[in-house]
A = this chain, B = another copy of it.
């Protein structure tokens, strides 16, 4: 069943409320030798749900008009947005319709990182460090850094289960 066939379109405020609860702004910094500096900065926005709500994830995809619905793990599915163009659209949306939980702070740092990437800063040593610092400044639970780890996963979701 395609979400496009569903008559009802999601309401912007509902989307914000749902993302305040279930959304996740995430940046991975992965060691990748083929990249200019040997590191790949991989930002993404995602919403993970039990597979019973997969249709809703498709509705969210239809709402934004981009992103993909895919398997997360086990019985979980996710709506995932990657790529600067689409992430810039996500940022534009949440600037117009602000998040209300403390997740908003994560979003703001995420937004700052995307701005740096828009300017190609992730391709410079200083920019890469700035991005890593932004992430660590925001999420103190993550102690690893570029020097000590193969993969830095900066999870911007302020939830203890992460």
Contacts and interface: CB of A to CB of B under 8 A. Distances in A.
Interface of A: 10-22, 49-50, 52-53, 56, 59, 75, 100-102, 158-161
- Greatest chain B CB density within 10 A among A10, A15, A49, A101 is at A101
Nearest to A159: B50
Contacts of A10: 100
A106 to B, nearest CB: 12
A59 B18 CA distance: 16
A141 to B, nearest CB: 13
A51 to B, nearest CB: 10
Contacts of A22: 21-22
A109 B90 CA distance: 35
